[in-house]
C-alpha cells in the first residue's frame, strides 16, 4: 500500500489515532487486549506450557536415571571396599592361624602372641586390626590404645549404635560386615566406617578390621551435585530455546501487524540480529581468551602450589621454590588479565612472532613440568597473519595444558613448518592418548572444541590422531593466511 504524499504547501494533519490496519502493541485504554496481543498470547501460552512440561519431564527422567546410576556406583564402590576388608582379614588370619589352631581355649601365651601379631599389622594411614572378647573387653587397638583393657559392651558410638554389641552378635554367627560412625585415628574426625569381623569361637574373640568410606561418600555427593547441575543446565537450555521461540513469535507478529513497514522492520530485524550475533561472537572470543590464557596459567599455579604442599609435608627444602614459582605464575595471571582487558589478544605474537612465542611457551612448559618439550620450526619472519598466529599459539597452549593435566607423557614435540598449502602446527606426545576418557584428550571437552572453533574460523583444519603410543594434533592454516612479501614489512611495522 502506498501513501499519498501531501503537497508541500498543505499543512500536515495531526495523527490522532492509529490507522485501521495498524495494530498497536501497547494495551488499549479500555483495558481490553488488541487483536495482535491476542494472537501473541495464543501463540506463546501453549509454547510456554509445553516448554515447562518438557522441562519437568526431562528433569524427572534425568534425576531418576541418575539415582539408579548413582545407586549402582555406590554399591560397586562399597562392594570393592568390602572385598578389600576380606583380603586384609584373610592375611591376618593367615598370620595367626597356626598359633590359634594348636592352642587350647585357655592358652594365655598363645593369646598373647596373637594379640602381639595383630597389633603389629598396620596398613595405610588409619588401617589396623582390633580384637574384642565376647564380654566386650578390648584386647587389641593399636591406633587407639586408650580403648585397650576397657569394657565397651552396651556403649553407644557417635551415631547411637552399640557397635561392640553388634560386632559380637555378628562374630557369634561366624562373621559379617557392619557400617557405623567412628573417629578417624589420624584426624580425630568422626566419619563413616565399614568393618568386617570374624569370630574365634574357641577363644570367644571378635577379630576385625575396617576402612573409612569418606572417599566413596564424597564421590557419590559429587555425582549427585553433577546431576543437579545438569538438570539446572537443562532448564537453562530449554528456557533459552523457549525465549528464542517467543522472540521469533513476537517478531513474526510484529511483521504481520505492521505490514506497511515490513521493509523497515526487516532491515531493523537484520540489524538487530547482526548485533546479537556480533555480541555472541565477541563473547565467544573473550571466553576462549579467558579459557586458553588465564585458565592455563592458573593450572600452572595449582600444580606449583600442590608441589609446594607435597614438599612441605615431606620436609623438602625446595618447597619455597615451588611456592615462589606458583606466585610468579599468579603474577602472570594478573598480567594476563590486564593484557586481555586492554588488548584481548597475545601481544607477544605481534612483537616477537609465532616462532619465538612458541619457543618461550615450550621452555616455560618444560621448566614447570619437567617434561621434555622441544620445538622444531623454520624462520617464518612473521609470514603468518595475525589471526593465524593467534589461533596456532592458542592451540599449542591448549595442547600443552592437556598434556600436563591428562596425558602422563614424558616427551612432547612441536613442529611448525610451511608448505605449498599453507602452514602446519604439529604437536605430538608419548602419553596415554585418548584412552583415559576423563580429560580433555579423552572426552573431547571445551579445550578441543576451542581448538576446532579457532581453526575453523580461519578456514583451516584440525586433525587429532590417537593411538597407544600417544596423541598427535595437527592444525593446518590455509595459504590465504600467509602474507605476501610486500605485506611482511607492513605487518612487522
Q: What is the pLDDT of residues 150-166, one digit of tens each?
A: 999 988 888 888 999 99
Q: Would you kindly state where each structural domain of the chain is located, as residue ranges?
A: 277-344, 352-493
DSSP state of 97: H
pLDDT at residue number 165 = 92
Q: Which residues neighbour 444 within 8 Å (Cβ) at sequence distance 6 or greater?
A: none
What pLDDT sits at residue 405?
81
Residue labelled with grid coordinates 568393618: 195
pLDDT tens track for 386-440: 888 888 888 888 888 888 887 788 889 998 888 888 888 999 988 887 644 433 4
Mean pLDDT of 363-367: 85
Nearest-angstrom CA–CA distance, 449 and 279? 20
Average pLDDT rounded to a whole number, residues 284-310 = 77
Q: Does domain 352-493 have CATH number 3.30.565.10?
A: yes
Instruction: For the chain, give the number of residues.
Output: 493
3-state class of 127 per DSSP?
Answer: strand
Residue 169 has pLDDT above 70, yes or no: yes
What local confidence, expressed as pLDDT, does residue 340 receive? 63
Q: What is the mean pLDDT of residues 350-368?
A: 81
On the question of pLDDT at 223 being above 70, the answer is yes
Query: Are 433 and 466 contacting, i.e. CB atoms less than 8 angstroms apart?
Result: yes
447-476 average pLDDT score? 84
The confidence score (pLDDT) of residue 129 equals 93
By percentage, how much of the chain surpasses pLDDT 90? 11
Q: Which of 185 and 12 is assigned the larger pLDDT?
A: 185
Mean pLDDT throughout 97-116? 89
Give residue 363's pLDDT band: very low, low, confident or very high (50, 70, 90).
confident
- What local confidence, expressed as pLDDT, does residue 319 receive? 78
Angstrom CA distances, 426 to 29, 156, 296, 454, stand at 69, 65, 20, 15
Q: pLDDT-derived band of residue 284, with 50, 70 and 90 as boundaries?
A: confident
13-27, pLDDT tens digit by residue?
Answer: 443 333 333 434 444
Please, is 470 exposed, middle or buried when counting C-beta atoms within 10 Å of its C-beta (0-12, 13-18, 19+)?
A: buried
Pick from 11-20, 45-54, 202-211, 267-276: least confident: 11-20
The pLDDT of 337-348, averaged and rounded, is: 57
Confidence of residue 487 (pLDDT cuts 50, 70, 90): low
What mean pLDDT is reported for the chain?
A: 77
pLDDT, residue 37, reads 67
Task: Answer with the residue of higher pLDDT: 166 or 453.
Answer: 166
Write down the pTM of the prediction: 0.38
Q: Best-predicted range by mean pLDDT among 299-313, 324-338, 348-362?
A: 299-313
Question: Would the pLDDT of 341 be above 50?
Answer: yes
The whole-number average pLDDT for the span 350-369 is 81
Q: Which residue has the higher pLDDT, 71 or 211?
A: 211
Q: Cα–Cα distance between 446 and 426 in angstroms, integer?
A: 20
pLDDT (0 to 100) of residue 479: 82
Instruction: Identify the CA nearest to 429 among candidates 451, 405, 445, 455.
Output: 405
Buried b / exposed e over 77-103, threshold 16 CB at 10 Å, is bbeebbeebeebbeebeeebeebbeeb
Mean local confidence (pLDDT), 135-143: 91
Amino acid at each position: 500500500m502506498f501513501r499519498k504524499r501531501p503537497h508541500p504547501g498543505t499543512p500536515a494533519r495531526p495523527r490522532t489515532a492509529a490507522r485501521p490496519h495498524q495494530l498497536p502493541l501497547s494495551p488499549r485504554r479500555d483495558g481490553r487486549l488488541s487483536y495482535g496481543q491476542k494472537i501473541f498470547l495464543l501463540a506463546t501460552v501453549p509454547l510456554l506450557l509445553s516448554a515447562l512440561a518438557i522441562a519437568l519431564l526431562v528433569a524427572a527422567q534425568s534425576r531418576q536415571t541418575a539415582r539408579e546410576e548413582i545407586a549402582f556406583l555406590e554399591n560397586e564402590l562399597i562392594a570393592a571396599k568390602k572385598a578389600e576388608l576380606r583380603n586384609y582379614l584373610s592375611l591376618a588370619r593367615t598370620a595367626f592361624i597356626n598359633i590359634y589352631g594348636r592352642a587350647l581355649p585357655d592358652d594365655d601365651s598363645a593369646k598373647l602372641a596373637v594379640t602381639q601379631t595383630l597389633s603389629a599389622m598396620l596398613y595405610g594411614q588409619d588401617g589396623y586390626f582390633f580384637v574384642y572378647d565376647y564380654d566386650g573387653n578390648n584386647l587389641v587397638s593399636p591406633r587407639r590404645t586408650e580403648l585397650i583393657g576397657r569394657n565397651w559392651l552396651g556403649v553407644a558410638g557417635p551415631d547411637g549404635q552399640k557397635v561392640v554389641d553388634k560386632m559380637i552378635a555378628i562374630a557369634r554367627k561366624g562373621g559379617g560386615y557392619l557400617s557405623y560412625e567412628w573417629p578417624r585415628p589420624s584426624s580425630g574426625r568422626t566419619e563413616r566406617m565399614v568393618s568386617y569381623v570374624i569370630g574365634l569361637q574357641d577363644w570367644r574373640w571378635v577379630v576385625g578390621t575396617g576402612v573409612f568410606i569418606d572417599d566413596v561418600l564424597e564421590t557419590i555427593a559429587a555425582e549427585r551435585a553433577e546431576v543437579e547441575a545438569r538438570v539446572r543446565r537443562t532448564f537453562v537450555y530449554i528456557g533459552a530455546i523457549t525465549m528464542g521461540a517467543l522472540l521469533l513469535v513476537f517478531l513474526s507478529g510484529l511483521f504481520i501487524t505492521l505490514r506497511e513497514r515490513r521493509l523497515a522492520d526487516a532491515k531493523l530485524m537484520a540489524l538487530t540480529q547482526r548485533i546479537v550475533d556480533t555480541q555472541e561472537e565477541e563473547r565467544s572470543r573473550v571466553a576462549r581468551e579467558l579459557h586458553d590464557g588465564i585458565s592455563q596459567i592458573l593450572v600452572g599455579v595449582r600444580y606449583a602450589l600442590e608441589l609446594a604442599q607435597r614438599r612441605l609435608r615431606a620436609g623438602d627444602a625446595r618447597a619455597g621454590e615451588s611456592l615462589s614459582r606458583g606466585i610468579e605464575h599468579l603474577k602472570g595471571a594478573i598480567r594476563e588479565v590486564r593484557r586481555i582487558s586492554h588488548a584481548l589478544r597475545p601481544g607477544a605474537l605481534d612483537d616477537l612472532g609465532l616462532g619465538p612465542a612458541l619457543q618461550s611457551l615450550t621452555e616455560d612448559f618444560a621448566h614447570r613440568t619437567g617434561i621434555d618439550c622441544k620445538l622444531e620450526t623454520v624462520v617464518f619472519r612473521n609470514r603468518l597473519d595475525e589471526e593465524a598466529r593467534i589461533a596456532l599459539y592458542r592451540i599449542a597452549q591448549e595442547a600443552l595444558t592437556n598434556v600436563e593435566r591428562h596425558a602422563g607423557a614424558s616427551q612432547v614435540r612441536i613442529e611448525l613448518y610451511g608448505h605449498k598449502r599453507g602452514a602446519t602446527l604439529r604437536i605430538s606426545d608419548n602419553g596415554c592418548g585418548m584412552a583415559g576418557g576423563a580429560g580433555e584428550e579423552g572426552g573431547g571437552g571445551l579445550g578441543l572444541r576451542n581448538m576446532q572453533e579457532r581453526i575453523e574460523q580461519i578456514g583451516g583444519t584440525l586433525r587429532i590422531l590417537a593411538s597407544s603410543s600417544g596423541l598427535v594434533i595437527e592444525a593446518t592454516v590455509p595459504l590465504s593466511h600467509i602474507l605476501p612479501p610486500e605485506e611482511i614489512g607492513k605487518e612487522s611495522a
